[in-house]
Chains A and B, each alone.
Chain A
Amino acid sequence: MATITTTRDGVPRAASQPTRGRPGRGFGTIGGYLGRTILALFFAFPIIFMFVSSLKPDDQIFADLSSLRAFLPVGDISMDNYKDVFDTVPAWRFLANSIGISVLTVVLGILVNSLAAFALSRMRWRGRGFVLAAIIATLVVPFETFALPLLWWANKLPWLVMQNGQPMWTFGWLDSYQVQIIPFIANAFSIYLYYSYFSTIPKGLDEAARIDGASWFRIYRSIVMPLSGPATATVAILTFLPAWNQFLWPLMAVQSENLRPVMVGVQYFFQLDVAWGAMMAYASLITIPVLALFLSFQRAFIGSIASSGVKG
C-alpha cells in the first residue's frame, strides 16, 4: 500500500508516485521556446491591445487596427482616457463595491462550501449520497433559468434594519449589498471541488484525531483545511471570478448607482457614440485586481487543478 506524503505545495501524493523529471530535450530546444513564446503572445495580445488602446484616442485605435501598431504604445499617447473614465463612471465606488462583494462572497463561500464538503466527505450520515447527488445535479442548471425566480424570492425575503433607533423588518433584499452576496455563497462546484480534494486526504488522520478527543470541527479546522490550501486557492479564484464578473444579477436586482459593481459600469461606455479609448481604460482598471489575484495564487491554483483534474 502506498504511503501518503504531503508535498511542499500541500498536495497529498503517494510516496511511490514518480516525480516529474526534467523536461525532455525536445522542449528545451529553441523551437520549443519559440513555440511557447508565440503561444504566450497569442494569448497575451488581447490584454496588450486593451492596455495599449487605453492610452490612445478613439480615431487612432481604429486607424492602427490594421497594423502591429495596434499592440504598441505609439502615436498620440496620453492618460486622457483614464481621466474620461472617472468623468463618466464612479469607478472607485464601483471598484470598492466589487472588491467588497467579491471578497465577502469568497470568504463566506470558502467557509460554507468547505464545511458542506467536509460533512459530505468525512462524516457518515444517512442520505449523504443523495444530498451530494442533488448538489452536483444543480451544476447543470444555468443561472439564467432561475434568475427571475431568484429575483422574486429576493424581493420577498426579510431583512432587519434600524429605523429611528428601532429594529424593523423590511421585506425585499433588492437594491442592497446582501442581494449581491448571499445568494452566491453556497456553490455546488466549490462543494464538489472541496469534496474531491478532501477525499484524497487519508481518513486515518481523522481517526487518530478522534482518538485524541478532537471534535469534528477541530478536525476540519486543524487538519483538513490546512492540508487543502490548493483547493482553497482554486475555490477562491473560481468564486472570485464570477463574483467579480457579475453583470446580469446586479442589473436586475440593484437600482442604486452607489451599489453597482464594476461590470455594470462597462455599459456606461456603450453610448451611441462609443468612447472606445475610455472603455479600454476602464477595462484595464477592472482587470488589474483579477490579474493580481490570479498571479498571487497561480501556483496553488495550477497545483489544485492538476491534482483534482478539474477544468475551470
Chain B
Amino acid sequence: MSRFMIGRRGTAVLAGVTTAALALSACGVASTSSGGSAGELTLWTHNAGNPAELGVVNQIVADYNASQSKYTVKLQAFPQESYNDAVVAAATAKKLPCVLDADAPTVPNWAYAGYLTPLDLPQDLVSKQLKSTLGNYQGKLYSIGMYDAALGLFARKSALEAAGVRIATVDNPWTAQEFADALAKIKADGKYQYAFDLGTGDSGTEWWTYGYSPFLQSFGGDLIDRNGYKTAGGVLNGDAALKWATWFQGLVKNGYTPAKSSTDAFADFVNGKSAMVWSGIWHSGNLSKLGADGIVMPPPDFGNGPKIGGGSWQWAVSSTCGEKAAAMDYITFSLNKKYLAEMAEKQNVIPATEEAAAMVDGWQPGGAKRFFLDESAKYATIRPPTPGYPFLTTTFAKAAQDIIAGGDPKKILDQAVSDIDADLKANNHYGF
C-alpha cells in the first residue's frame, strides 16, 4: 500500500543515514585492553565506603606512582558487598584489572576459573608473612594479604565475675564444659536477655561459614575432607559434626542465644542486651565503649582445640594482565612493613608480619591488641582452599541456618553432604 512506500523525502533520509553510516565506518578503531592502557596498571579494591583502608591503599598507589615513571597505577574502589559480582562480571567481559584484591576463600575458585595468575614475589618477603595471609592453591601462591582478621568471644567482665567464671586466655581457653557452665550461670543470673549472641542476624552467607564453621572444626568436623577434597562425607555429617549441630541448636533451645539476632548483635551487646557476643576484630574499637568492662577471649576448645577462620582480603594479579611483572612489582612495593603497619593502625587489623607488628602501638608482645595476633597465629584455620568453596559455603550456611531454625541436624547434614558431593562430582572434583 502507498502509505508504506518510501517517498522522495524518505529516500533522502535513507540516503543521508547510509552516507553517515559509510562516513562513520571510515573512522578508525580505538582499542582498549584488559588491565589498562599502555603504561597503566588498573587496580581494583573492595573497600569503597571504608575510608580507613581505602586511604592506605590510595597512599600506597600514590607513593608507587611517585617512585617510578614507567607505570601509573589507577585505582578503582568497589563496595565490599558487591565486589565479587563486579569481578565475575568483568571476567565474563574479559575486562579484569591487572591487580585486584580477593577474599581469601574465593582465591582458589578464581585461580581455577583462570582469572588469576600465580604470584612471582621475592621469597624473603613471602616467608615473613603470617601463614593465613597467603592464598595458596595446588601448591602455588595466588594471593598475599597485608593483614588478617580474627574472631573473638567479646564479653562483659562484670557478667563473668557475677557468674563466677574465669576469664579465658589464648593460652588457657575455656573447655566445652566451662563454656556450658558460663552460659548456664549467666542465664541464671537473669541480668541479660541473652547470655551469648551468635550474631545470627547477618544473612550474608560468608559470615555463617566464617563465623560458625570453626566451632564445627573444634568439634572435629569440617566442611570437606581435606584429604583429597573429593567428599564432605564423614566430616560434615559424622559423629563430630552431629555433636556440633546438636550443640549449635542447643544454644537456641536453651535460650542462651536468639534464633535470629538483630541486624547488629554487637550494638545489642554494647547496649546490655547480651553478656557475650561472637564477633570480629573489626568491632574491637566499639568494645572500648564498655571501658575496662569490655574484654575479648578466644573461642572454647570443643575437643580439637579452639578454632577461628583464617584469611582475609589479599592482593592478586589477573591472568589477562598485560604487565604482570609490573603488577608483581607493585604488590612487592605495597607489602613494605611501613604500609603493613599503617594498615594495621588505621584499619584495626592484624599486621601480616612481626616486623610490622613491632612498629604499631598495641601490637607488640604484651600490647593491648596483641590478643588477636596471638590468637590468629595459634588457632586460625584456613577455610578449605578448593575451587568448590563457593558451593561449600552456601551449602554450609543453609545447613547452619536450618539447624538454628530447629530442623533435624542429622537430616540437614546428610542433605548438605549429598549436595556438596553432587557438586564436586559435577565439576570433576575441581581438578583434585
Tell me, yes or no, whether A binds B: yes
Residues of A bordering B, CB below 8 Å: 58-59, 61-63, 65, 87-89, 125, 148, 151-152, 155, 160-161, 163, 166-172, 174-175, 216, 248, 251-253, 255-257, 264-265, 267-274, 276
Cα distance, A58 to B203, chains bound together (Å): 19
Instruction: Say yes or no: is B286 at the interface (Cβ < 8 Å to chain A).
Output: yes
**B76–A255 touching, CB < 8 Å:** yes
Instruction: Say yes or no: is B29 at the interface (Cβ < 8 Å to chain A).
Output: yes
**A273–B28 touching, CB < 8 Å:** no
**A170–B30 touching, CB < 8 Å:** yes
Known: A63-B271, A168-B27, A168-B30. A273 touches B282 (CB 8 A): yes
| Minimum Cβ distance to chain A for residue B340 (Å) | 19
| Minimum Cβ distance to chain A for residue B246 (Å) | 30
B153-164 near A? 1/0 per residue, CB < 8 Å: 000000000000
Task: Identify which of A87, A125, A255 gathers the most chain B CB atoms within 10 Å of its CB.
Answer: A255
| Contact partners of A276 in chain B: CB under 8 A | 263-264, 267
Chain B: interface size category: 35 or more
**B271–A59 touching, CB < 8 Å:** yes
| Minimum Cβ distance to chain B for residue A115 (Å) | 16
27 contacting pairs across A/B (C-beta < 8 A): A59-B271, A59-B289, A62-B264, A62-B268, A125-B4, A167-B28, A168-B27, A168-B30, A169-B27, A169-B28, A170-B29, A174-B93, A248-B85, A251-B89, A252-B85, A252-B89, A256-B76, A257-B77, A264-B79, A267-B48, A267-B79, A267-B80, A268-B48, A271-B49, A271-B282, A273-B286, A274-B263
Instruction: Say yes or no: is B123 at the interface (Cβ < 8 Å to chain A).
Output: no
| Contact partners of B92 in chain A: CB under 8 A | 148, 151-152
| Contact partners of A216 in chain B: CB under 8 A | 3
| Contact partners of B262 in chain A: CB under 8 A | 62, 65
**B267–A58 touching, CB < 8 Å:** yes
Residues of B bordering A, CB below 8 Å: 3-4, 24, 27-30, 32, 44, 48-51, 76-82, 85-86, 89-90, 92-95, 149, 262-264, 266-268, 270-271, 280, 282-283, 285-286, 289
Cα distance, A270 to B267, chains bound together (Å): 15
**B93–A152 touching, CB < 8 Å:** yes
| Contact partners of B4 in chain A: CB under 8 A | 125
Cα distance, A175 to B86, chains bound together (Å): 12
**A168–B95 touching, CB < 8 Å:** no
Closest to B267 in A: A62
**B27–A160 touching, CB < 8 Å:** yes
| Contact partners of B271 in chain A: CB under 8 A | 59, 62-63
**B29–A174 touching, CB < 8 Å:** no
| Contact partners of B48 in chain A: CB under 8 A | 257, 267-268
Closest to A65 in B: B262
**B268–A251 touching, CB < 8 Å:** no
**B49 partner, pick from A163, A167, A268, beta carbons under 8 A:** A268
| Contact partners of B85 in chain A: CB under 8 A | 248, 251-252
Known: A257-B76, A267-B79. A59 touches B263 (CB 8 A): no
Chain A to chain B: the 6 pairs with minimum beta-carbon distance, closest first: A268-B49, A267-B79, A252-B89, A272-B282, A62-B267, A168-B30
Cα distance, A175 to B4, chains bound together (Å): 40
| Minimum Cβ distance to chain B for residue A308 (Å) | 29
| Contact partners of A161 in chain B: CB under 8 A | 30
**B264–A268 touching, CB < 8 Å:** no
